[in-house]
Amino acid sequence: MSDALTGFLLAMASLVSFTASILFTRMASPHLSLALGFVVSTAVNVMVASLLVLLQLLWQVQAIGWHLQAFWLFVGSGVCATFLGRWLFYESVERFGPERTSVFQIGIPVFTAALAWLLFDERLSPPALLGMAIAVTGLLIVGYKRGSNAPRAPGGGFSLVHSLLVLGFGSSAAYASGNLMRGYAVREWPEPVIGALVGAVAGLILHISVTPGKRDLLAQLRRASPRGLGLFVIVGLGNIGGQIFSIGAMRYIPISVAVLLSMCTPLLIFPLSRLMFANSEPWTLKLIGGSALAMAGIVLVVLR
């Protein structure tokens, strides 16, 4: 199997995993607060990644090497993506729904491509750049909805901090920074599972440190809705799977291309939300046309 095909398949697996985590967050948020849900899902990240590392140690004959710089890059990716990016993103999922919010993930590959070019001189071919532009345009068409990005503050005024633009773009920038760290780290230290574990541990520590009533965390978990806990466990499984697959894809294809493919969640979110949620957006010509344009751009990137 060629490196390009391997990277593509890993990125597609990451896309499916991240899509599942977004949809299940929508289902879980009415039953459990996001603050507590983040702790649960990130703890699942740590447990699953630890189990996979243990299995790797038992299965792998060759000893795992050590790379200090890559280790700290994975820590930084956990701070930026697992903690800050995820918190901002799922806060917007709860406030605005998965359809509107998932569109802001298109900013992640754009920011990632710009940072990769500026910091690591990672250049894409003209067809790949054109494909990214077409895909982003299509996703913008899919996601744009007049008046959907500005909720009202409790007093009736505009709340800048809680606006979709601030939450969405803030999440995109944080995820892009984390992805860039992961992509560079996995090329220096090709251990995607260990990298995901390191980032998950860093994210969990930060999540717990900012969770309200953290001294009463165990009591909160005992009082929590079993349905909410179970759904956030699934969210955690989707997140850690998406991270591992995405980090693995970055070993074989350009970082920005791997991120673009794994972040095209709106193409799955919209039809699946239509099936799963009664108040989801109906199919329109704009939605179908934007999705087709995005798919055309993705095909051009893949066949670059």
Write the Ramachandran bin of 121: left for phi over 0, alpha for psi from -120 to 50, otherwise beta: left
Summarize pLDDT for 107-152 with one digit per residue, the tens: 677 777 777 777 777 777 787 778 778 877 776 676 555 544 444 4
What integer pLDDT is reported at residue 247 of this predicted model?
A: 92
Residue stretches of the chain with pLDDT short of 50: 147-161
CA distances from 221 to 21, 87, 237 (A): 20, 19, 18
Separation CA 123–CA 143 (nearest Å): 28
Phi, psi of 158 (to 5 degrees): -75, 130
Summarize pLDDT for 26-50 with one digit per residue, the tens: 889 889 887 788 889 989 999 999 9
What integer pLDDT is reported at residue 280 of this predicted model?
A: 61
What integer pLDDT is reported at residue 86 of this predicted model?
A: 77
Separation CA 47–CA 144 (nearest Å): 38
Structural domain count, the chain: 1
Q: For the whole model, what pTM was predicted?
A: 0.76
Structural domain that includes position 79: 3-213+220-302
Whether 34 contacts 107, CB under 8 Å: no
What secondary structure letter does DSSP report for 263? T
What integer pLDDT is reported at residue 161 of this predicted model?
A: 44
What integer pLDDT is reported at residue 227 of this predicted model?
A: 93
What integer pLDDT is reported at residue 11 of this predicted model?
A: 92
